[in-house]
């Protein structure tokens, strides 16, 4: 990154503070949110923004370190002194700067803001690097009337803080107020070393309300998952409709256990919810195909799923490529559910990928979604529901584009009509 005229840009580092201890939600920072560790959402946005010279996670916990590295971040092991319940963000950031003298600007991104988008970070980086601000922080606009607090036992009345009750605003007539939403705080080194995250030449950055999600208590989790699925950032490539789901049989459709009877017959168990999930996928026009390392043709015949299957496979990726090419699909239209090391390359290649909760570590690292359900215990149904939610997002985006296009065409027709009327009047 160049600052112009041969000058190197000041080193801008993204820093996510992720302490292991959390009174509200144990290991909240790596708890799965819509199939992705919470911290993964902001790391994905920071990496794809492309404006940071380095991206760091400051933590005191081994599991958080492991997840951070899986998502491509570097790790700063913070000291016990700044890992206490009473420790402040400023203390942790100052310690980080003391160990990394190359850093000139810190973009402190909160792990608990999973709807953050790269576009926001790009604009803020410009404000710091090109417009010369010393600190920039995120805000959101709210339309909420405030009243003074009356504590129990006090002999007084509440008073309006930002309204006249006799002339209440309609929402559309009131611009609202700006509140910090905690998504990020960018500040230059000299400011932080003086003990400030906000100061100097200071500015706010207003985020869209739907992107302002902050997870503080467990009850927010289900709400946040729905918000993330609707407004979260899923990567650089636009989502497409899934048309093919390939599912590994052993460990995904089944729990991986094989029971052998006295007469040497094999038996496996499966969850009826997964069969329903396969039927729902088919009804939505999504083909479901099955794949296995071993010969389980008799088991498949007994299950009567009506799916194309390939067994005794030595190269799953080649089979997946053959199916993708035969159907004329892009990789974005292919989903894959696997659980073993033999599935890793398929998980990386597919546009949408998932693993059951008990998948091996290599498969979990390669997957885009980690199910809460174990293999053979509803993982297929859960992934199907996840696909349906993302399809709603695709359809919503398509509808918005169609509305914009329709509005543009209507404006064009109106403009042509005005021109035609004008020409007619001039002729007359």
- Cα(364)–Cα(366) distance, rounded to whole angstroms? 5
Strands 334-337 and 244-248: parallel
The residue assigned the tokens 């194309």 is: 308
Beta-carbon contacts of 131 under 8 Å, excluding residues fewer than 6 positions away, are 203
- Rg of the chain, C-alpha, whole Å: 27
Say whether 168 is catalytic: yes
- Cα(368)–Cα(358) distance, rounded to whole angstroms? 15
DSSP 331-398: GGGEEEE--SGGGHHHHHHSSEEEE-TT--HHHHHH-SEE-SSPTTTTHHHHHHHHHHHHHHHHHHHH
Say if residue 328 is exposed, middle or buried (CB neighbours under 10 Å; 0-12, 13-18, 19+). exposed
Label residue 345 left, alpha or beta by phi (over 0 means left) and psi (-120 to 50 means alpha): alpha
- Cα(161)–Cα(83) distance, rounded to whole angstroms? 37
Q: Please report, for residues 5, 23, 329, 341, 347, the alpha-carbon distance to residue 383 in angstroms, rounded to integers and kept in the order given.
A: 51, 31, 20, 19, 13
Strands (E), 112-161: 135-142
- Cα(368)–Cα(291) distance, rounded to whole angstroms? 19
The residue assigned the tokens 């997870």 is: 215
Residue of 77, 142, 146, 168 marked active site = 168
Q: Which two tokens stand for residue 205?
A: 């950055």
Q: Which two tokens stand for residue 226?
A: 């729905």
Catalytic residue set: 168
């Amino acid at each position: 990154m160049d600052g112009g005229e041969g000058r190197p840009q000041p080193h801008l580092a993204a820093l996510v503070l992720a302490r292991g201890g959390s009174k509200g939600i144990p290991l909240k920072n790596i708890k799965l949110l819509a199939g992705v560790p919470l911290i993964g959402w902001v790391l994905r946005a920071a990496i794809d923004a492309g404006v940071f010279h380095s991206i760091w996670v400051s933590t005191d916990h081994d599991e958080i370190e492991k997840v951070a590295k899986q998502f491509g971040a570097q790790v700063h092991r913070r000291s016990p002194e700044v890992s206490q319940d009473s420790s402040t963000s400023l203390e942790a950031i100052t310690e980080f700067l003391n160990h990394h003298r190359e850093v000139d600007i810190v973009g402190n991104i909160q792990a608990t803001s999973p709807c953050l988008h790269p576009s926001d970070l790009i604009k803020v980086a410009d404000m710091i690097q090109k417009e010369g601000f010393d600190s920039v922080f995120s805000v959101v606009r709210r339309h909420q009337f405030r009243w003074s607090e009356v504590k129990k036992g006090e002999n007084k009345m509440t008073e309006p803080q930002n309204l006249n009750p006799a002339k209440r605003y309609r929402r559309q007539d009131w611009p609202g107020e700006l509140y910090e939403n905690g998504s990020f705080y960018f500040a230059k080194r000299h400011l932080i070393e003086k003990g400030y995250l906000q100061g100097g030449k200071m500015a706010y950055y207003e985020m869209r309300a739907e992107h302002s999600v902050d997870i503080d208590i467990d009850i927010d989790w289900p709400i946040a998952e729905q918000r993330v699925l609707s407004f979260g950032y899923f990567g650089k490539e636009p989502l497409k409709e899934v048309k093919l789901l390939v599912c590994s049989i052993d460990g995904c459709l089944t729990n991986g256990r094989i029971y052998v009877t006295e007469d040497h017959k094999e038996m496996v168990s499966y969850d009826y919810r997964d069969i329903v999930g396969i039927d729902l996928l088919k009804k939505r026009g999504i083909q479901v195909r099955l794949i296995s390392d071993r010969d389980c043709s008799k088991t498949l015949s007994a299950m009567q799923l009506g799916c194309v299957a390939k067994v005794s496979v030595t190269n799953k990726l080649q089979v997946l490529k053959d199916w993708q090419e035969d159907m004329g699909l892009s990789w974005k239209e292919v989903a894959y559910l696997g659980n073993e090391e033999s599935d890793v390359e398929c998980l990386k290649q597919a546009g949408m990928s998932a693993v059951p909760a008990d998948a091996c570590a290599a498969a979990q690292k390669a997957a885009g979604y980690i199910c809460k359900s174990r293999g053979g215990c509803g993982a297929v149904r859960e992934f199907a529901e996840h696909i349906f939610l993302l399809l709603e997002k695709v359809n919503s985006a398509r509808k918005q584009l169609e509305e914009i296009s329709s509005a543009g065409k209507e404006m064009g027709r109106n403009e042509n009509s005005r021109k035609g009327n004008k020409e007619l009047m001039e002729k007359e």
